[in-house]
Structure 1
Amino acid sequence: MTSRERFLAAARGLYTDCIPAAPYNGNFGAALAGIPISVYNTDGKQMADAQTLAWEKIGQDVIVAQSDNYYIAEGFGCVIEQPYDTTPNLVKPAVATLDEVEKLKVPDPYRDGRMPVYLEAISLLRERFGNEVAIRGPGTGPFSLASYLMGGTTEFLMQIAYCEADNDSVKESQLFELMDVSSDALIVFLKAQLSAGSDTAMVGDSLASLSMISPKIYEKYVFPYECKVFQSIRADVKKRDAVTILHICGDTRDILPNMAQTGADILEIDAKVTLADARILVGDKIALMGNLEPTTVLFAGTPEHVQNESLKCIRAMEGSQGGFILGSGCEVVPKSPEVNLKMMVETAHNASGNM
């Protein structure tokens, strides 16, 4: 099987010749290539070059065109600070208050913000690799994106808290409007990625972590909009023979059953949740990807440690009827040892596939 065939089959719970390996190694690729992040995330060709080099060194089944979270938000008018060799920081949101939300307009992914950078990188990677390797694009989740647009993370979460405490129907309506526009922006960007050649449509909603919100808030303000995104892109995903991914950071056990109902094909599981627990909670009808700990294992561990932890993940999925992809629990830390990533891939490729 080609890497692309292996990954797509695993995502659908079908036979694979071995376990596919898919570390989420966006900025790791930049560091490996010696390209400053401020250059990497503003130049589609250099992003594609860096990820090509990472694949040549590591041989993973999925190549990631990814860096930071503000490429859509900038299209709305958010202002960022871009350090030379670290990821950007939000300096100014698109609107300061919920009363201004009605002014927000969905940006054009081919023109606005840094979305065109990622579309160029995806297109170049597809051109270079054809159907041999799977290409994965980014996708900031609707809840996370909404926080960048209105006031920043702290202000956004405070407005939700005030709304819930005061049972404020006006504020609630404005928050729902904000979630709608952020969802619509992600939808058009994901469709553009699929057209550019991405094999995935991803929702990465880090702010929806249960370290930040409660399951009740997730069910009310996040779940319906993640469902909306996956429902809205379903036809495009099918047309392109692609798959969908949902990732939320942290311990998500209390919302994993909801996440499995969003319409995603793959749940990318953070290292804070065991794969065995995740499989029990979501059943066998959805693929799981994960979940090597990026810091203590992939960055600070030895190759032997990486091998042992990879085997633990693989064994946890033995006998499971759902698909499985060995991945990192979250983004691979830049300057993680190359030998560790190679060991992760080799361990997966030496293991029996999904049957």
Structure 2
Amino acid sequence: MGKDLVLKALCHEKTDSVPWVPFAGVHAGQLKGYTATEMLTNADHIVESLKEVKKLYMPDGLPVLFDLQVEAEIIGCELMWADYNPPSVKSHPLAEEKTLPCSCKIPAKDSGRMPVILEAMGRVKHEIGDDTALFGLICGPFTLASHLRGTNLFMDMMSDKEYVKDLMAFCGQVSIAMAGMYIDAGMDVIAVVDPLISQVSPKMIDGLLKDTFVGVFDYIRSRDRLSSFFVCGNATKQIEVMCQCEPDGIAVDENVDLVEAKKITDKYGISISGNIPLTTVMLHGTQQDNIKCVLDELDSIEDKTGLIVSPGCDMPYATPRENTIACAQAVKNPDTSRKLVENYSSSFDDIEVEIPDYAASKKVIIELFLLDPDQCAACTYMQASVLDNFDAIRDIAEYRIYKYFIKEDIARTRKMGIANLPTMCIDGEQKFISIIPNRDELIAAVKEAADRKQD
């Protein structure tokens, strides 16, 4: 059974074939004609959509929900809802005051959307849970802390480490409460989804964040469940310290070299999942592109112990179903799929784009190369680092935002030689690569570029 493949892989045991776990997210709703909002607020829609995913994509494992704002909404963040993405955090309750939420904010079964989610989980468990490993996804404590505190959290990590530890401890309690409810609802795997981990140095993770993560994974283990640690962005440097947080698996996106990352996870006996590109392949590619991508991944890894094939993160809402079906076929029938790409050539033709004349510009040009600021937490906070502080630099700077799900922006990203997202360029120089600058760092970098224009 597919469920057994996933569970064995997460235990770093050899399997007869590589398991396939599509992170369908709100894309599941698209299969039945529901908007993201309609799906994420209605148990009937969640169940109906996931049954369709099961029928079309033949998953060995499946997340019931991919929404990192459930906890934030309960604690007091205002959300901005959308038709084609999960909601995003609009307000940060602790942005103006360095306090901690009271213990009554810890989620319970009757909090926020929890009744809808828990009902859906129970029904999905009954409908498809016998042969499909069900993932309960919770917002990781560091990303949750950023939802509460906003971009000020990155300054706090330099100026008030004790506060960060206290805030992380609270968020860890939230993660444990969520994990407990999801386990009670029948989830087989608890995935701690913390995209912002890629924005923090390994040293900072080890000193400020690691204890909280270890506590969460210890709790999941104490409940006889398996766990996975999801990250977005270029987490290459963070993979080892993530392993030291003691999850059963790690999930990475296209920014990470899966072959090299697996060498590290294998050393710790931890599984690894990933990392089909979301936009260039799944959203904008052809069926051949998707088959070729999966086959290349399988061929690149000799020892497939602990390997799970999956998208790099939550699939875009508009991903063509035929592309995801192609991925499933390539994982489950690699030999026959090879015949379909014998004469393969990439379908992506770069579009001509014009690069700014930075030297001629009177103002410093800040360019943000993002995956999707409405869906990717790291992208959201990199964008916010500019928007929140722009009044301090508006006389000497302007900004432009490029999104990697728009074909013209993909072409621009490639032409600029941007290898990792999110990245912030200042006058054409890649200044902050998968790192969110705090206010002082951003202003200093812009002023330095402005001074060069005067020389």
Instruction: Using structure 1 for the length normalisation, give the TM-score.
Output: 0.89
Match of 1:182 in 2: 171
Cα distance, 1:102 vs structure 2: 5.6
Match of 1:167 in 2: none
Spell out the pairing of 1:133-172 with structure 2 (5 A cutoff): 133-150=132-149, 152=150, 154-161=151-158, 163=159, 171-172=160-161
Match of 1:296 in 2: 280
- 1:20 alignment partner AA: P
Change (3 A) 1:214 1:190: same
Cα distance, 1:97 vs structure 2: 4.2
Match of 1:107 in 2: 106
Identify which of structures 1 and 2 has the higher relative contact order when contacts are C-alpha pairs closer than 8 Å and 6+ apart: 1
- 2:205 alignment partner AA: Y
- Tell me, in whole angstroms, the C-alpha distance in 1 between the residues paired with 2:87 and 2:300: 37
- Tell me, in whole angstroms, the C-alpha distance in 2 between the residues paired with 1:256 and 1:291: 14
- 2:9 alignment partner AA: A
- The runs of 5 or more residues in structure 1 that have no matched partner are 164-170
Per-residue CA distance 1:189-230 (angstroms, 9 max, x = gap): 111101101111111111112xx3333322223222211110
Aligned pairs, how many? 334
Match of 2:328 in 1: 345
Spell out the pairing of 1:1-355 with structure 2 (5 A cutoff): 2-101=1-100, 103=102, 105-150=104-149, 152=150, 154-161=151-158, 163=159, 171-209=160-198, 212-236=199-223, 238=224, 242-284=225-267, 285-320=269-304, 322-351=305-334
Q: Which has the larger radius of gyration?
A: 2
Contact 1:45/1:120 (<8 A) preserved: no
Contact 1:246/1:268 (<8 A) preserved: yes
- The runs of 5 or more residues in structure 2 that have no matched partner are 336-455
Contact 2:249/2:271 (<8 A) preserved: yes
- Tell me, in whole angstroms, the C-alpha distance in 1 between the residues paired with 2:50 and 2:252: 23
- Tell me, in whole angstroms, the C-alpha distance in 1 between the residues paired with 2:245 and 2:301: 22
| 4+ residue runs over 6 A deviation | none
Contact 2:197/2:235 (<8 A) preserved: no
Change (3 A) 1:220 1:116: farther
- 1:257 alignment partner AA: E
Cα distance, 1:85 vs structure 2: 4.4
- 1:315 alignment partner AA: D
Q: CA RMSD for the aligned pairs?
A: 1.8
Change (3 A) 1:190 1:53: same
Per-residue CA distance 1:2-36 (angstroms, 9 max, x = gap): 11111111222224232111121111101121111
Instruction: Using structure 2 for the length normalisation, give the TM-score.
Output: 0.70
- 1:311 alignment partner AA: L
Aligned partner of residue 261 in structure 2, secondary structure: helix
Contact 2:161/2:208 (<8 A) preserved: no
- Tell me, in whole angstroms, the C-alpha distance in 2 between the residues paired with 1:350 and 1:291: 18
Change (3 A) 1:184 1:66: same
Percent identity reads 25
- 1:24 alignment partner AA: F
Contact 1:288/1:323 (<8 A) preserved: yes
